Amino acid sequence: MIRAERSVVGVTSPFTETSGIARHASLAEIGAAGPLHRMMLFTGVPVWLVTGYPETRELLAHPDVVRSSLEGPHRDTVTDDLVSALDQHMLNVNPPDHTRLRKLVSAAFTRRRIELLEPRIREIAAELLDEMAVAGDRVDLVDSYSYPLPITVISELIGIPAIRRDDFRRWSSIVVNASVYPADVYVEAALSMVEFIRELIEDKRVAPSGDLLSDLIGVRDGGDRLSPDELTSMVYLLLAAGHETTVSLIANGVHALLRHPDQLALLKAEPERLPAAVEELLRYDGPLQAAIPYITKAPVEVGGTTIGAGEVIVFALLAANRDGDKFAKPDQLDITRAESSHLAFGHGIHHCLGAPLARLEGRVALGMLFERFPDLALAEPSQDPVRSQGLLMNAITELPVRL
């Protein structure tokens, strides 16, 4: 079946909606007319917005749909040196550079290393839950649990001193959501982050400590290794992607389960469903609104529509994961759902390298939270929590709960 494309220039951008209800409703309105749309982003950039699941999956794996640094934020202000220091990572390059970088990083970021983290993740979660228990009946789940858990895990994995984690949180929030910040604010945060990463790299060169950063500094494939800019860019990517998405996976997941008491009751009664529940939560209200934009290097035909060369494509992952042609009752949370091939971690060569870590943290975080606080409830059940604006993240900024 060919589904037509249409122009949605007049429709409110879902990426600037600050309510999850409004965000999903806006994407549903756009997607109802077809899988491909011409749209002007809130940044003023004309794009092809892709909302259909099969079209998203097909284009993300298409050899003529590639990454490009041309569409990055504040390019008229940011110096080339700063761009190189942050953008020379796997998500921003194409083969053969992507193949080379992923191979080098994968050598240090192994599944076995991730599996060995589970006892420590449980230990961190238990400490945070203890702190929540003495903080009072009402807490903000984001500040008390869904943020500190993944930032502690990734910081310890890479080797980030605890004293600098709040600084990194501030810089990362700005850099990841660059398009909603003024250029000077973005540049200041980006420069501070690069300076911090470079200092950390030099410290690890002098005194390697067996962490992931020490491994990345020394990793080689024959005579090949990461260049200085590739190293700073990879550390930035692993730090930012390694906690930002997992913060939202946990917060969005808790919010969804508390909004669906029947599903939460089923999960409590049958905790062995936890892995499947995490997959359904990723599909239902995942941490990313969209993938980092791509560009066509040649004309591409999909779904009966031709996208010309040099066009920017934005993949609305939230919409694709609720495509009714792929998922039955897509707006319904169902942890028993058999179909789990969501696109929350992307698809193709840029599929998230850290997906196993995010899944592990999600399972541990949700399982231990509801076991420790079986009566957990939303403190403001009549209100939809505020979400950050921006193209990429689908992040709840705070989630008040009662223990």
Tens digits of per-residue pLDDT, 364-388?
999 999 999 999 999 999 999 999 8
Q: Where exactly are the structural domains of the chain?
A: 5-402
Give the residue with greater pLDDT, 258 vs 136. Answer: 258
Q: What is the pLDDT of residue 17?
A: 85
CATH number assigned to the domain covering 5-402: 1.10.630.10
Give the residue with greater pLDDT, 329 vs 81. Answer: 329
Q: What is the pLDDT of residue 3?
A: 42
Closest by CA position to 195, among listed 223, 161, 236 = 236
Q: List Cβ neighbours of 221 (8 Å cut-off, separation of 6 or more).
A: 100, 103, 104, 107
Q: What is the pLDDT of residue 222?
A: 62
Which range of 43-47, 96-100, 364-368, 387-391 scores highest in mean pLDDT? It is: 364-368
The model's pLDDT over 180-216, given as tens digits with 9 standing for 90+, comes to 788 889 889 889 989 999 998 898 888 888 788 888 8
Say whether pLDDT at 8 is over 80: no
- Averaged pLDDT, 59-86: 80
Percent of the chain at pLDDT > 70 equals: 94
The three-state (H, E, C) secondary structure of the chain, written as one string: CCCCEEECCCCCCHHHCCEHHHHHHHHHHHHCCCCEEEEECCCCCEEEEECCHHHHHHHHCCCCEECCHHHCCCCCCCCHHHHHHHHCCHHHCCCCHHHHHHHHHHHHCCHHHHHCCHHHHHHHHHHHHHHHHCCCCEEEHHHHHHCHHHHHHHHHHHCCCHHHHHHHHHHHHHHHCHHHCCHHHHHHHHHHHHHHHHHHHHHHHHCCCCCHHHHHHHCCECCECCCHHHHHHHHHHHHHHHHHHHHHHHHHHHHHHHHCHHHHHHHHHCHHHHHHHHHHHHHHHCCECECCCEEECCCEEECCEEECCCCEEEEEHHHHCCCCCCCCCCCCCCCCCCCCCCCCCCCHHHCCCCHHHHHHHHHHHHHHHHHHCCCCEECCCCCCCEECCCCCECCECCCEEEC
Say whether pLDDT at 108 is over 70: no
Q: What is the pLDDT of residue 122?
A: 98
pLDDT band per the 50, 70, 90 thresholds, residue 220:
low
Q: What is the pLDDT of residue 221?
A: 54
Say whether pLDDT at 22 is over 80: yes
**pTM exceeds cut of 0.75:** yes
Q: What is the pLDDT of residue 12?
A: 53
Q: CA 253 to CA 363: how far, in whole Å?
A: 10
Q: What is the pLDDT of residue 161?
A: 82
